Structure 1
């Protein structure tokens, strides 16, 4: 199972996310669920770092991607992260036994 944990600040903006686990629905490299979640999260990281120039605390490994904004979120970071979350929610809707989303507020 893929678990996506979203952490929001008091204003409701996403300040960090963590993705753990594997879909295990196909051989490594051929799993569309895992590939979809990875593409969305990796694109969000690229958008935050390369497009917006934001600093992140990033931890990545097999079955793990943890991302935290170094500075408070703003309208631009939130647009990227909320778009990522919309895509992941759609994947979770289609594959509810494989993707679980948990959201926390501060």
Structure 2
């Protein structure tokens, strides 16, 4: 199962952590892992390229984390809102057996 923890401060997302593997299909053929990877990596790359916001990014096998540092621009906020919308759509389509999304106040 992929576990997504979305970090939130008041009403604004401040980052996320993704860990684990969906187990939907064999490695290399798992469309849920591929979709989550595409969304999370794109969010990080978009924040890096399209905003001036500073972020701490950590990555390892089956693990990816982004935490915004300082204030969060409207652009980063929108990109994180979009990420969560996409992740929730995957969860709705494939179920909580493969992806779990939680929110953590920071």
TM-score normalised to the size of structure 2?
0.92
1:14 aligned residue: 13
- Between Structure 1 and Structure 2, how many residues are aligned? 105
- What does 1:22-61 correspond to in 2, within 5 Å? 22-61=21-60
- Cα RMSD (Å) of the superposition? 1.1
Deviations 1:34-64 (A, max 9, x none): 0001100011001100121332111101110
TM-score normalised to the size of structure 1?
0.92
**Which consecutive segments of 4 or more residues in structure 1 shift more than 6 A?**
none
Which runs of 5 or more structure 2 residues have no equivalent in the other structure? none
Which runs of 5 or more structure 1 residues have no equivalent in the other structure? none
2:100 aligned residue: 100
Whether the 8 Å CA contact 1:18–1:65 is kept in 2: the answer is yes
Whether the 8 Å CA contact 2:13–2:80 is kept in 1: the answer is yes
